[in-house]
Amino acid sequence: MLLRVVAVESQDFTTDGPADSDRDDERLNRLDKAISALPSRYKEPLLLTAMQGLSHDEAAQFLKISSKAVEMRLYRARQQLRETLENSER
């Protein structure tokens, strides 16, 4: 459930009642699953930057890759998450 931090930081989840809360829980569960399903090469930079608060340069140092590689992996991670979540809503 720690992955929910990514969702809370990236979207505004407001609850006006139990139905909204249930819908938000469902969306967060889908996001948790989608992040868990990411290949580690995309998941690691995402979690380091979104959850640990590292900069791209710090994540690059930690992962022993270039800052540009971190940026590209974050882009691809978000792209895959977007596609996965859009497909799960259908």
Structural domain count, the chain = 1
AA identity, residue 63: L
Contact 50, 5 (CB under 8 A): yes
Query: From the first residue on, what is the mean pLDDT of each consecutive set of 10 residues in the chain (90 residues)?
Result: 46 57 88 95 97 97 98 98 88
Q: Which residue range is the domain that position 85 belongs to?
A: 4-89
pLDDT at residue number 88: 82
pLDDT at residue number 44: 97
pLDDT at residue number 8: 46
Q: What is the CATH number of the domain that holds 59?
A: 1.10.10.10
pLDDT at residue number 18: 63
The radius of gyration of the chain's CA atoms, rounded to the nearest angstrom, is 14
Per the structure block, which two tokens stand in for 73? Answer: 């992996």
For 3, which DSSP code? T
